[in-house]
Chain A
Amino acid sequence: MAALFMPAFIVVTGLVVPFTTGGDADLDYERAHQVVTWWPVRIVLFVVVFLSLFHCAHRIRHILMDLGLRAVSTVLAVFCYSGAAAGTVAALFVLGTL
């Protein structure tokens, strides 16, 4: 999921959003807001964020274990996966209250 969506997301938020403008900042906001609050977009965003966060948490944990922190792998697990869970809850909140 991360692999499919991330590059395009980054292009959009990193290049399209800051550097293409219709000249009217309020109108830009309106349009962006409109796109993001469309329900299918919200759902896709949520699923992508949720899956990618856990994917990243798992990999980061394993990188740290590979780099020599294997002794504290349980601590890392708690830390990484609860971080991902917190991010997922945050995504739920943010997307739900847009």
Chain B
Amino acid sequence: MADRRITLEVFRYRPDGDGEATIQDYRVPYHEHWVVLDALNWIKDHADGTLSFRWSCRMGVCGSCGMMVNGEPRLTCAVFLKDYYPSPIRVEPLINFPVERDLVISMDDFLAKLQAVKPWLIRDDEEPPEGEYRQTPSQLAQYKQFSMCINCMLCYAACPEIDGIPDFLGPAAIALAHRYNLDSRDQGQSQRQEALGGEEAVWGCTFVGECTAVCPKNVDPAGAIQQAKVASTKDWYRHVLLPWGKR
């Protein structure tokens, strides 16, 4: 009982070395209340200090500890060892992202995509009001779900379409754009439409729905994308049928 262990098969990659990416096995102490992130921290502290991975809050809030756990994108601070014990657990970096080192992926692309949808309140009138913009609870409810995203990128790692469309905005960025479009204080829908309308945005999505399935915050990015498709289609018909109208 005292010394139960579980094997972690960990993906290793060093950009400065010359070896290929490898899988390295570690025998880690098994505790019922440990999550995969605890096991990785144990490896770093006791077995192999060269292992690199990101984490911060350990409570599913910061979104930095996302990795592939047995092939599924998960927050490693929310996956218990006991759900796998005694089988080994394979830990790999999130797929669909370039690997910087070991379990650390590059998020530059992702951040650029978030920027591309202008995720801030856009107003026609520049002057902010006295005090604050007021909003009723039901206006808040319109977009609240889509504002819960923690940028963990699990949805990108679940999406089979991203790999084929490198510039695909992807689930979280589209959900974020939709969140601002639904905000009663925002007037920037037409400015976002260009980034949102094409094959590299909503029309690249085939509604596989796995982004929603893996999202730890119930953001439902797949739903957001379909709603954005509907909005984008309406926008298109409005353009074709009423070209003279204000968009």
In-complex A–B contact (CB below 8 Å): yes
Instruction: Point out residues on A near B: beta carbons under 8 Å.
Output: 59, 62, 65-66, 70
Contact A62 B164 (CB under 8 A): no
Alpha-carbon gap, A25 to B164, bound state (A): 54
**Shortest beta-carbon distance from B206 to chain A in Å:** 5
- A14–B161 CA distance with the chains assembled, in angstroms: 37
Total interface residues in chain B, CB < 8 Å = 4
| B206 contacts across to A, CB distance below 8 A | 59, 62, 66
Q: In the complex, how many angstroms separate the beta carbon of B181 from the nearest chain A beta carbon?
A: 23
Between A and B, 7 residue pairs with Cβ closer than 8 Å are: A59-B206, A62-B206, A65-B164, A66-B160, A66-B161, A66-B206, A70-B164
Residues of chain B contacted by A62 (CB below 8 angstroms): 206
Q: Which of B141-179 contact A (CB under 8 A)?
A: 160-161, 164
A77 to chain B: closest CB distance in Å? 9
- Complex CA gap A45/B206 in Å reads 26
Q: How far does the Cβ of A96 sit from chain B's closest Cβ, in whole Å?
A: 22
Q: Which residues of the partner chain A approach B160 to less than 8 Å between Cβ atoms? A: 66
Q: Which residues of A contact B164 (CB under 8 A)?
A: 65, 70
How far apart sit A16 and B97, CA to CA, in the bound complex (Å)? Answer: 54
- Complex Cα distance, B164 from A62, in Å, reads 11
Nearest Cβ distance between residue A16 and chain B, in whole angstroms? 33
| Alpha-carbon separation in the docked complex, A53 to B148 (Å) | 37
